[in-house]
Amino acid sequence: MEPEAASIEEHLLVCEQCQDTLGDIDEYILLMKAATREQAPLPALVRPKRRLAPYVAAGTIAAGVAVAALLPSVRPVRPAETVELQSLRGVEMPRIHADHPADLRITVPDLPDAPYRVEVVDGSGGTVWSGRAVASGRRIRVLEPKALRAGTYWVRLYSEKGELLREFGLESS
């Protein structure tokens, strides 16, 4: 439970929305405590039911905070890894860390500056990600938002007409 608590605390330190929600909850608790102190004493028959109300309210609030903290994914945001892709024979496949997004930089010295479609496929040819990119200065840059799991991938470069122009290997481990 200790690493999970640390992860949630770290998330609360970074996430403004969660900080605002937590502030609203704290304010609500203080207002409820103040309101319960200001009430006049109740007859003896009603008191036992009313004594439980603050505990029920506090328990409900605590459960709400726990659910709000645990529902969103609290995975830390990882920066994209830069990967240079070049079409050279005999060059080892570029590597990136698994579960990190990739900043793909494709060198295309023989292709014109134009729009292209970039596709990332897994080892069995299944599309993992696809998007558009524009070559500028004989280079194409693609921020691939989906973090790749461990495995071999192929980055395919297509013309606007759908013709396969290049294919680059990429290893994620």
Which structure tokens are listed for 116?
Answer: 């292209």
- Would the pLDDT of 88 be above 60? no
DSSP 8-state assignment for residue 93: P
* 107-116 pLDDT, tens digit each: 888 889 899 9
Question: Among 8-12, 88-92, 140-144, 166-170, where is mean pLDDT lowest?
Answer: 88-92
Structural domain harbouring 43: 2-70
- Would the pLDDT of 11 be above 90? no
Q: Both 115 and 134 in a single domain? A: yes
- What is the arrangement of strands in the sheet containing 115-122, beginning at the earlier edge strand? 95-96, 164-172, 151-158, 115-122, 127-134
Q: Both 119 and 160 in a single domain? A: yes
Confidence of residue 164 (pLDDT cuts 50, 70, 90): very high
Any idea what the CATH number is for the domain that residue 149 is in?
Answer: 2.60.40.1930
